[in-house]
Amino acid sequence: MVTLSRDYLIRPNPADPRLTERVSGIDHTGAAVTTSVTVERALTIFLNSQEIVTAMTINDYPEFLALGYLLNQNMLRPDDVVTSVDYDADVSVIVVRTQRATNYEEKLRKKVQTSGCAQGTVFGDLMDVIEQARLPDAQLRTSWLYALTRRINTTPSLYLEAGAIHGCVLAHEDVPLVYMEDVGRHNAVDKIAGWMLRNHVAAHDKIFYTTGRLTSEMVIKAVRMEIPILVSRSGFTAWGVELARKANLTLIGRARGKRFVALAGEDRIVFDHDPDAVEEESTKLRRKAAVNDD
């Protein structure tokens, strides 16, 4: 069990040489430029003796990604005893072993490709997660939301350094706890889910923030993780909103500066801060977001 602090427990490290490369080219005027680009790698995940998936990822936290992926696909149960997690960097393979015998051959044949970038997939019956949802009572103060989004948007990250990446943050009230990034938003979510599982972190009083769109996939993952509040600086899809309303998930999008829009679970919001006292988002960040927020 981790002790939650007033600062990040995990945060991006844009200086990590494994995560970016410098590449030369030309700009719109024909002038020579050198820029940072995000590095993606293949990671193959096994559950016991069965190969489950090969994901494209920046591969900074392979253990958390593997555990979170299996948990969010309902292949790993919250009460499963994980006996080992073995990562072989040379062949980019990670094996999660459990005390319970597993066989998901049939489940692997029944999969749905999601709208997430990097071709996310969801296995099994999508609607079961929503129909069975029992999200906890929770509260979101607008003072927390404004402080949280400002803190996240000014944290050094690959998102700001190189782009072509998505960020997800687990927060408690106005404090960001774990900030994960990856080439696919689903990978960033799964890494947080894996961290929560490994550290026995409760979800009932948490807020989940993402830089990406609020799609059906994002809603399903938040509901599966039993997190009651999902926030994005980007927009919505119609099915994402419909599923959030069915599950009573608080869904907030277009959260930039003083502005936001809530399309589900509005009753959890407490308006305790004057938006006129909040600074608008910087022009530099808006330009970066316009490129990255898809």
Residue 286 above 70 pLDDT?
no
216 lies in some domain? yes
Mean pLDDT taken over the chain: 89
Place of tokens 């530099």: 284
The pLDDT of residue 122 is 56
Which residues make Cβ contacts (< 8 Å) with residue 61, sequence separation at least 6? Answer: 10, 180, 191, 194, 195
On whether residue 170 sits in a domain, the answer given is yes
- What average pLDDT score do residues 117-134 get? 67
Q: Is residue 45 part of a domain?
A: no
Long-range contacts made by residues 264-271, C-beta under 8 angstroms, separation at least 24? 265/228, 265/229, 268/137, 268/138, 268/139, 268/140, 268/228, 268/229, 269/140, 269/142, 270/139, 270/140, 270/141, 270/142, 271/142
Q: Is residue 21 part of a domain?
A: no
This prediction's pTM: 0.88
Q: Which residue segment(s) compose the domain that 194 sits in?
A: 140-292
**What is the share, in percent, of the chain residues with pLDDT greater than 90?**
73
In a domain, 224, yes or no: yes
The answer to whether residue 116 scores a pLDDT higher than 80 is no
pLDDT of residue 120: 56
* Unique residue bearing structure tokens 């007033």: 6
Q: What is the Cβ-side half-sphere exposure of residue 112, based on CA atoms within 13 angstroms?
A: 13
pLDDT in tens, 15-57: 899 999 999 999 999 999 999 899 999 999 999 999 999 999 9
User: Is residue 118 over pLDDT 50?
Assistant: no
Does residue 275 carry a pLDDT above 90? Answer: yes
Please give the radius of gyration of the chain, using alpha carbons only, rounded to the nearest integer: 19
In a domain, 286, yes or no: yes
Number of structural domains in the chain: 1
For the chain, the straight-line distance linking the first and the last C-alpha, in angstroms and rounded, comes to 35
Identify the band that residue 115 occupies on the pLDDT scale cut at 50, 70 and 90: very low
Q: Where are the beta strands (DSSP E) in the chain?
A: 20-26, 32-38, 41-47, 50-57, 82-88, 93-98, 111-113, 121-123, 140-141, 166-172, 175-182, 207-210, 229-232, 250-256, 259-264, 269-270
What CATH number did the domain enclosing 233 receive? 3.40.140.10
Q: Is residue 50 part of a domain?
A: no
Per-residue pLDDT, averaged over 59-84, amounts to: 94
pLDDT digit string (tens) for 135-158? 999 999 999 999 999 999 999 999
For residue 193, give the H/E element and its range. helix 185-199
Is 88 domain-assigned?
A: no
